[in-house]
Structure 1
Amino acid sequence: GVKQMIVAINKMDEKSVNWSQPRYDEIVKETSSFVKKIGYNPEKINFVPISGWAGDNMLEKSTNLGWYKGPTLLEALDQITEPKRPTDKPLRVPLQDVYKIGGIGTVPVGRVETGILKPGMIVTFAPAALSTEVKSVEMHHVALPEAVPGDNVGFNVKNLSVKDIRRGMVAG
């Protein structure tokens, strides 16, 4: 699930708002109440007033928001910590599709959720219990030495056809 959150309060330049701190505070209060109900701690959320149209407080501090002491939207984004990639767990790649590519062969496609996928390794497709060797791994038409969690990849497999494996199966 979502572990970190930023709330960008947009349209602060709108005529009825006119960079108003009381209106900002009202929106923060309402939003905090809502996020608390769904299990988040509002104290850990950056509420950033911005004007997307004018670009205020997105990359640089806005002169229209003298009362606001928090980060710009870019600074808030830079404070987000990257999630840990579970490479130490067993390989799991839920298949999104399977293609037959002329001159190459069968290419299952999916997102690596856990583990590491490398050419030369043996993978088993569940629930069919079919095992085969991975010939190559590609992301955006570029060959990879290995794929890690978060990578959307296609991988060429030996001796299996598109009839053997299908969307919804999991490579492990």
Structure 2
Amino acid sequence: MKGIDTPQSHKARKRQKLLPREPLAKAVTDSTSIAAVVRHLGLVESQSTRRQVKASIEAQGLCTDHFTGQGHRRGTVSPTRKTAGEILVKLGPNSPRTKTLQLRRALDDRGVAHECALCGLGETWQGRRLVLEVDHVNGDRWDNRLENLRYLCPSCHSQTVTFSRPPSPSHGGT
């Protein structure tokens, strides 16, 4: 097919325009990720913008060793994390239950020993790790006050009258 023009099977890639060095260098210094650089520069967040920023950083040889990437919050406390004082309270009738992990952390913060409150068994049994259970002394799983919580080994916990009991009627149970 000589003499007939055909479209190219591939397009020449357009050369990306590099961002100005000064504002980019300041944004890189003040940020911990490519996305943060994009926001710092006030650019529209998109894949092509991130690609342009990354190419500009590499072309200008800017140091990104301080970028944390996906772990940008690693080593910091969550801004929504509840304190022991906020967790160790009696909840209202329509409140969701507090997660066991939060109860354990609150008990740890208050210095409650990691041993069964009834038999004294610690965190190991027959050389293996034993997970102590958080028990609500009065059986009300919405009563998270410190004086109502204790650690029990699974054996002692299963012998309590409040073990695995359905919620009280005041909390939507039967």
- TM-score when normalising by structure 1: 0.30
**Which is helix-richer, 1 or 2?**
2
Which one has more relative contact order, counting CA pairs under 8 Å at least 6 apart?
1
